[in-house]
Amino acid sequence: MSNNNNKSKSAISLQESWASNISDYILLRRQQTHVAYDATDANTNDENGRIDKLEDSDLFTALFVILAAHLEEGHTVLTVDTADHEAPMQGQINGEIVTLYTWQQNLLEILATPIFALIDTQIKTQLDTQLDDDTTTETSLFVLLDTLFGQRDYLWAQLALSNHEKGTLIKRFDAITTLYQRFKNSDLSTFVHSIHEYALFANVNANTDCNNYQNSLSKDNQPIIYNIAKNKETQGSKITFWLHRTWQAEFNLAQHINHILNQQIVPLDITMPENLNDQQIAAINVANNNAFSIITGGPGTGKTYTVAQLVIALQQATESRGNESEHIRFSTDSASLALAAPTGKAAQRMQESLQAALDDANVELQLQEAKTIHRLLGIGRTGRPRYDANNQLGEDIIIVDEASMLGVELANYLVSAVKPGARLILLGDANQLAAVDAGAVWLISVAFRYCNPYMQN
């Protein structure tokens, strides 16, 4: 039982974390603000606050906790998918026959996972005897919830919990209960109506001007952002949720990429090596003619070799133009060529591979030391970069390897620090290394999410 207790405590501390405390604080501050700004009708505001807590605040708390759990797992969004003409599943919970759609079961399962982890071997054995071989995954959730609600006191009796851990467990259990009560025998239209009417949710389409790339969501400070669209595959609805911070980071990233793309670059007159294939020539031309470019491909496709040839070609073109060059310098004393990667090992590997390619081509060029992106941007203990939109990097060319490892916020810091007229070249493979932080964006996918005709073309 001691091993189970240790496992249980771990599950509670890791899964609950900070999310429910922050959501409680947001709700408290909202109620206090209502009272402060409408003191003449404080009683009415207090009553409204209680109504929110009972009818809508539980939905906000549940989705906030689920989004926070997703963020800790590296996902910046929560997606609710429904199929056209989908029939709900039926089962018995607490002696009552109820219906739940698949998307409702998915949300309940995410919220209840830390509690399910606390169900000990004895209860799981009881469940196994209740489940037939033909029982579906959806049906098993009904049994789990029925057991969870019915075995609550027994479960706590089996666990040696501190008062803090017990309080955390109660909060999560209450969140599951209220979300279940909201979902049972209801449909998507009821869910959509609730988030439309509640002030702590903001609709993307109602607050974003896609033509002017302006975002007004930050003015209203809604903690959860959502977007409702048609799912072309299932012909149903698709609802995407963000925490405000991750939405803001993605929106800003798309804006910064748009800004870089609109920068005017003077192409250098480069001479292509004869041993390049058509794709490598195209990659070099794209990087020479654009401020923002991506070179992608699987292992062994020649990404590093192509970049080495690009560096050689740009160096030769710069030297041939003399004083008329656009001031791209490649000398050892200059920091105008920056090499970077998300991790120290990737940066070292990038440096060695590029230098070896240059040496093999008999090019006398000592590259600058490749850095981690954190070091390049001057991100220290505070987590804030030294170089940003207001204090941009001085490099003329920035080459980033293993860019598939970039999370949304680090990518946003990077692209915002690129000065006008500089080239940002990203190397990577979406099927290789995943993002270190939240948001496996592979950068360009974020820009496609927003209404940007230039990027889509």
Closest CA relative to residue 155, chosen from 128, 197, 121? 121
pLDDT digits (tens, 9 = 90+) for 403-431: 888 888 888 899 999 999 888 998 877 66
Residue 365, token pair as written in the block: 């060029």
* pLDDT confidence bin for 139, thresholds 50/70/90: very low
* pLDDT confidence bin for 72, thresholds 50/70/90: confident
* pLDDT confidence bin for 336, thresholds 50/70/90: confident
DSSP letter string over 31-77?
Answer: HHHHHHHTGGGHHHHHHHHHHIIIIIHHHHHHHHHHHHHHHHTT-SE
pLDDT digits (tens, 9 = 90+) for 99-112: 999 999 999 998 88
- Range in 72-76, 136-140, 155-159, 402-406 with the lowest mean pLDDT: 136-140
Share the mean pLDDT of the chain.
75
Closest CA relative to residue 23, chosen from 182, 248, 201, 166? 201
pLDDT digits (tens, 9 = 90+) for 230-263: 877 777 888 999 988 888 888 888 888 888 888 8
Asked whether the predicted pLDDT for residue 391 surpasses 90, the reply is: yes
Give the pLDDT score at 299. 76
Interior CA angle at 380 toward 378 and 381, to 5°? 170
Cβ atoms of 82 and 235 within 8 Å: the answer is: no
- Range in 6-10, 220-224, 426-430 with the lowest mean pLDDT: 6-10
The dihedral over CA atoms of 53, 56, 59, 62, expressed in degrees to the nearest 10, equals: -20
* pLDDT confidence bin for 128, thresholds 50/70/90: low
The rounded distance, in Å, linking the Cα atoms of 328 and 448 is 31
pLDDT digits (tens, 9 = 90+) for 25-43: 777 776 666 566 555 454 4
Q: Give the distance, in angstroms, between the CA of residue 54 and the centroid of all CA atoms in the same chain.
A: 30
Residue with tokens 């029982």: 135
Residue 210, token pair as written in the block: 């896609």
> Whole-model pTM?
0.73
Give the pLDDT score at 327. 46
* Helix H or strand E encompassing 255: helix 244-261
Residue 233, token pair as written in the block: 């595959």
Asked whether the predicted pLDDT for residue 46 surpasses 70, the reply is: no
Asked whether the predicted pLDDT for residue 160 surpasses 90, the reply is: no
Mean pLDDT to the nearest integer, 121-133: 53
**CB within 8 A of 18, min separation 6: which ones?**
68
Percent of the chain with pLDDT strictly greater than 90: 16
Give the pLDDT score at 386. 94
Residue 149, number of CB atoms within 10 A of its CB: 15
The rounded distance, in Å, linking the Cα atoms of 410 and 380 is 13
Give the pLDDT score at 334. 41
Give the pLDDT score at 331. 41
Q: One-letter amino acid identity for 65?
A: V
CA end-to-end span of the chain, whole Å? 60
Q: Give the distance, in angstroms, between the CA of residue 88 and the centroid of all CA atoms in the same chain.
A: 30
- Range in 168-182, 348-362, 388-402 with the lowest mean pLDDT: 348-362
* Helix H or strand E encompassing 372: strand 371-372
Mean pLDDT to the nearest integer, 49-59: 57
**CB within 8 A of 266, min separation 6: which ones?**
326
Mean pLDDT to the nearest integer, 329-335: 42
E strands within 127-211? 201-203, 208-209
The rounded distance, in Å, linking the Cα atoms of 185 and 91 is 11
Closest CA relative to residue 19, chosen from 83, 73, 81, 62? 62
* pLDDT confidence bin for 132, thresholds 50/70/90: low
Cβ atoms of 408 and 440 within 8 Å: the answer is: no
